[in-house]
Amino acid sequence: MDSSANKSEKNSPQNAKGLGFFEKYLTIWVLVCIALGILLGKFAPDVAKYLDGLSIYIGEAPVISIPIAVCLFFMMYPIMVKIDFSEVLKAGRNIKPVSLTLFVNWVIKPFTMYAIATFFLGTLFLQFIGPDAVDLVKMPFGIDLPVGAAYGIGTVVLENGVKMLEIPLWRSYLAGCILLGIAPCTAMVLVWGYLAKGNDGHTLIMVAINSLSMLILYGLLGGFLLGIGQMPVPWEALALSIAIYVALPLVAGYISRILIIRYMGVVWFKTKFMHYLTPVTITALLVTLILLFSFKGEVILTQPLTILWIAIPLFLQTVLIFTIGYVLSKGWNFTYEDAAPSAMIGASNHFEVAIATATILFGLSSGAALATVVGVLIEVPTMLMLVKICIRTRGWFQVKKVGSRA
């Protein structure tokens, strides 16, 4: 590795190590957690129900599951504390890649996800999912309707003494896909950009900008597309989800990063603090998955192809968005080092936020939450495939002579 690589290494949260142990085998860990969750739901269903019952209630509606909220905070905090928001100030130096990434993330990606998921889940795979299959999701925050009342595409029902909304199952899966499609990655993309030998500085800038833009655009686009999909649009819960799972860890990460670096130094922060914090996100994610699948075990066992029906549109969406970003980068005469992360950032999803939002909006046992988990399952193998495509097509682009990593 040359001196320029060492220079970029200092700015890379991955410290030039690429995929760590947890990240490298993420798909395997997810599969193990699926199995553990299914076993927990089958042989100890009361345990999972008790944990999900530890919630903050407003009226008769469980709004926030405390165990899940704790897990999801620790999923998000390690991601946010890595971000150096001073990098945002450097965005003006390379405005074209930044503009392209924002355009793909917020103007193209949400709507292609909606269209692809609607076609596959609502038309092509509908007979396999079940035209009459239904899902029970949380009542929208602040809504108190009588049993039997219609709300959007759903009907209010009473389930174990709690009011729930009964909706078509495929639309619940669609909601999870929507929440994935509007969540640009701010974590694993740092790994993908590094492995593709991209511009670490550009990747870091976009991570910071994506995190800030999500505070406004995630809720607006999410509510808009859920409404088009005839799903309940719980605006208050959506705002609460963004506050708890984006804004809170964002602020906590920003403040703690400043304090730790001020009192312990940047070297200690990068070599010690981040070293011990790195597995926290994955660990919290895996614990959350066990709880999610403890409720969905019966669905997986009786309809094992459900995962496949959801995975296909998610995979096609990822490849499509990568292709759009990569081709546009070529058309705009980007160097390879800027083109690779620009395409990766759009293709990769912030599945931590999607899982958190689906859980608080629709419930831990909802089809929407299951769909976001499928996003985790396909993320690593799909993105590694795209990394290889980038490296093999590197010659299509200009290559920086200074500051690049050969």
**pLDDT at position 298:** 66
Distances in Å between the alpha carbon of 164 and those of 82, 95, 226, 347, 365?
A: 39, 47, 18, 34, 12
Highest mean pLDDT among 102-116, 246-260, 275-289, 374-388: 102-116
User: What token pair was written down for 124?
Assistant: 């092509």
Q: Which of 37-51, 305-319, 339-353 has the lowest mean pLDDT?
A: 37-51
pLDDT of residue 406: 40
As a whole number, mean pLDDT of residues 23-45 equals 77
The crossing angle, in degrees rounded to 10, of helices 367-392 and 274-302 is 120
- Say which range, 125-129, 223-227, 265-269, has the weakest mean pLDDT: 223-227
The per-residue pLDDT for 328 is 94
Average pLDDT over every residue of 39-61:
70
Higher-pLDDT residue of 298, 318 = 318
DSSP bridge partners of 166: 136, 155
* Per-residue pLDDT at 87 exceeds 70: no
For position 18, what pLDDT does the model report? 52
| Average pLDDT of the chain, as a whole number | 79
What's the distance, CA 149 to chain centroid? 33
DSSP letter string, 190-223: HHHHHHTT--HHHHHHHHHHHHHHHHHHHHHHHH
Rounded distance, CA 143 to CA 326, Å?
Answer: 44
Higher-pLDDT residue of 376 and 375 is 375
For residue 150, pLDDT beyond 50 = yes
Of the ranges 1-15, 196-210, 239-253, 311-325, which one carries the lowest mean pLDDT score? 1-15
Residue 20: the pLDDT is: 61
Percentage of residues of the chain with pLDDT beyond 70: 77
3: pLDDT strictly greater than 70: no
Helix 200-228 and helix 336-347: axis angle, to 10°? Answer: 30
Distance CA 250, CA 293 (A): 28
CA-nearest of 241, 273, 268, 278 to 369 is 241
pLDDT band at 365, cuts 50/70/90?
confident
Give the residue-averaged pLDDT of 290-297.
70
SS3 153: coil
